[in-house]
């Protein structure tokens, strides 16, 4: 079976073709980063318009390159995300479904992220603990099996990717800030600034990053007042990254112990962070699985593979699903309607 996957929940237009026999056979990604960079963050209306421009030519290109006329099913991100952007992907998926007489499969964006390691030869077996860290989410999820998810903890305020982006902005780095901040951090001393490790000693598995963000802001203001921000920018970046990673690793190891996890999956954009990868691998006794870097950030391949695993959910393209908010807990294993 051939599944076309469409991702349009935020600022990347992703398209991929997954063959249940052969694996991933084609993909294309169009990033909107340049369009939003001038505004310092994603502008929803601009995102929707650009998805409209990019999506159809990307689909045509992927199908042509693979020599495929029409896939057997179309999976699309149905949420959570920017509703206008989601409507573009959902609308086109349903339109093509009607034209081609093919079913559609609505996919939860975060389920796409947590299934991204399934694209690798060395895929994790269920059950596993998933740390999902992106620009909009920070979640610790117990994954019993496909579609059986228990959210153990989430952020009480900012997502960790958002904290990276906002800190990067304070330091005068370009959007999106996460990769730029991580690069600057390699030149700094991560013990130079005293920053809090929020929630590390609290009960439960929730996260909070707004206190860390405020602490960084105070350091930046102080450096600005003393006119030496340039001299300490790398130190602040390194200290922030260390505090954020310590917090993520601490909470994740605690949850892993509580659930007696043998495997941890780290996914989502912040999963591309090298320090996070190194620290978790060094401190966890079991195995840590990561998708390759290009599948950490938003992409069509993770939606196509999720669709292939959820073929039983395929339905007539009668209604477009687009949900700005959608809890991962509410998902169920694949089932025919
Ligand atoms: O999963 P993703 O591509 O989009 C969302 O669904 O949000 O994640 C994007 C987030 C951004 O906040 C970006 O700054 C962050 O992932 N990010 C990183 C790194 N690469 C991307 N954060 C820290 N270190 C990185 N290397
Ligand atoms: Zn994402």
pLDDT in tens, 292-315: 999 999 999 999 999 999 999 999
298 lines ligand 1 (CB under 6 A): yes
Q: What whole-number percentage of the chain has pLDDT above 90?
A: 94
Together in a domain, 144 and 282: yes
Is 226 within a domain? yes
Is 120 within a domain? no
Q: Do the beta carbons of residue 163 and residue 209 sit within 8 Å?
A: yes
pLDDT at residue 336, as a whole number = 61
Per-residue pLDDT, averaged over 200-217, amounts to 92
C-alpha triplet 173, 40, 251: angle, nearest 5°: 70
Atom 26, ligand 1: which residue's CA is nearest?
A: 273
Together in a domain, 93 and 59: yes
pLDDT at residue 337, as a whole number = 58
Above 90 in pLDDT, residue 164?
A: yes
Q: Give the model confidence (pLDDT) of 56-83 as tens digits.
A: 999 999 999 999 999 999 999 999 999 9
Is 155 within a domain? yes
Number of structural domains found in the chain:
2
Together in a domain, 109 and 83: yes
Taking the CA of residue 12 as reference, the ligand 1 atom at the shortest distance is 3
Together in a domain, 166 and 269: yes
Distance 160 CA to ligand 1 centre (A): 9
Together in a domain, 143 and 279: yes
Together in a domain, 38 and 161: no
Q: What whole-number percentage of the chain has pLDDT above 70?
A: 99
Question: What's the pTM?
Answer: 0.94
Distance 161 CA to ligand 1 centre (A): 5
Per-residue pLDDT, averaged over 209-213, amounts to 92
Question: Which ligand has the nearest atom to the CA of 7?
Answer: 2
Q: Please indicate whether residue 38 or residue 240 has the higher confidence score (pLDDT).
A: 240
Above 90 in pLDDT, residue 176?
A: no
Is 335 within a domain? no
pLDDT at residue 40, as a whole number = 85
Together in a domain, 137 and 226: yes
Whichever domain contains 277, its CATH number is: 3.30.420.40
Is 198 within a domain? yes
State how far the alpha carbon of 179 is from the alpha carbons of 239, 246, 315, in Å: 15, 18, 38
pLDDT at residue 214, as a whole number = 93
Atom 8, ligand 1: which residue's CA is nearest?
A: 269
Question: Which ligand has the nearest atom to the CA of 11?
Answer: 1
Distance 53 CA to ligand 1 centre (A): 24
Is 144 within a domain? yes
Together in a domain, 82 and 174: no
Per-residue pLDDT, averaged over 106-111, amounts to 98
Is 336 within a domain? no
Question: Which ligand has the nearest atom to the CA of 41?
Answer: 1
Per-residue pLDDT, averaged over 121-126, amounts to 96
Question: Among 161, 180, 324, which residue has the most ligand 1 atoms within 8 Å of its CB, making it the best to mutate?
Answer: 161
Distance 299 CA to ligand 2 centre (A): 8
State how far the alpha carbon of 22 is from the alpha carbons of 3, 26, 135, 166, 308, in Å: 12, 11, 32, 41, 12
86 lines ligand 1 (CB under 6 A): no
Together in a domain, 241 and 303: no
Together in a domain, 42 and 164: no
Atom 20, ligand 1: which residue's CA is nearest?
A: 179
Q: Do the beta carbons of residue 76 and residue 46 sit within 8 Å?
A: no
Distance 70 CA to ligand 2 centre (A): 27
Is 337 within a domain? no
42 lines ligand 1 (CB under 6 A): no
Q: Please indicate whether residue 315 or residue 200 has the higher confidence score (pLDDT).
A: 315
Q: Give the model confidence (pLDDT) of 253-271 as tens digits.
A: 999 999 999 999 999 999 9
Together in a domain, 210 and 81: no
- Length of the chain measured in residues: 337
Together in a domain, 15 and 98: yes
Structural domain that includes position 48: 2-115+295-330
Distance 93 CA to ligand 1 centre (A): 26
Per-residue pLDDT, averaged over 167-193, amounts to 95
Q: Average per-residue pLDDT in the chain?
A: 96
Per-residue pLDDT, averaged over 147-165, amounts to 96
Above 80 in pLDDT, residue 43?
A: yes
């Amino acid at each position: 079976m051939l599944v076309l996957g469409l991702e349009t929940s935020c600022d990347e237009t992703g398209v991929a073709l997954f063959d249940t026999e052969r694996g991933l056979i084609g993909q294309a990604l169009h990033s909107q980063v340049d369009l939003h960079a001038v505004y310092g963050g994603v502008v929803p209306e601009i995102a929707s318009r650009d998805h409209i421009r990019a999506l159809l030519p990307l689909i045509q290109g992927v199908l042509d390159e693979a020599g495929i006329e029409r896939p057997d099913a179309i999976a699309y991100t149905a949420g959570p995300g920017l509703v206008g952007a989601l409507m573009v992907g959902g609308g086109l998926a349903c339109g093509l479904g009607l034209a081609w007489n093919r079913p559609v499969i609505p996919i939860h964006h975060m389920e796409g992220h947590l299934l991204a390691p399934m694209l690798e030869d060395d895929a994790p077996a269920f059950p596993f603990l998933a740390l999902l860290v992106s620009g909009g989410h920070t979640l610790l999820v117990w994954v019993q099996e496909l579609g059986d998810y228990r959210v153990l903890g989430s952020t009480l305020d900012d997502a960790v990717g958002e904290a990276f982006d906002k800190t990067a902005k304070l330091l005068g780095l370009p959007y999106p800030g996460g990769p730029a901040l991580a690069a600057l951090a390699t030149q700094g001393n991560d013990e130079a600034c005293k920053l809090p490790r929020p929630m590390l000693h609290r009960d439960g598995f929730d996260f909070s990053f707004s206190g860390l963000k405020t602490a960084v802001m105070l350091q930046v203001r102080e450096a600005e007042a003393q006119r030496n921000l340039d001299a300490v920018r790398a130190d602040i970046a390194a200290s922030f990254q260390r505090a954020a990673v310590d917090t993520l690793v601490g909470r994740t190891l605690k949850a892993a112990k509580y659930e007696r996890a043998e495997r941890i999956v780290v996914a989502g954009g912040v999963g591309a962070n090298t320090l996070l990868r190194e620290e978790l691998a060094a401190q966890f006794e079991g195995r840590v699985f990561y998708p390759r870097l290009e599948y950490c950030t938003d992409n069509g391949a993770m939606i196509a593979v999720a669709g292939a695993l959820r073929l039983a959910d395929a339905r007539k393209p009668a209604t477009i699903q687009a949900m700005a908010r959608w809890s991962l807990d509410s998902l169920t294993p694949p089932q025919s309607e």
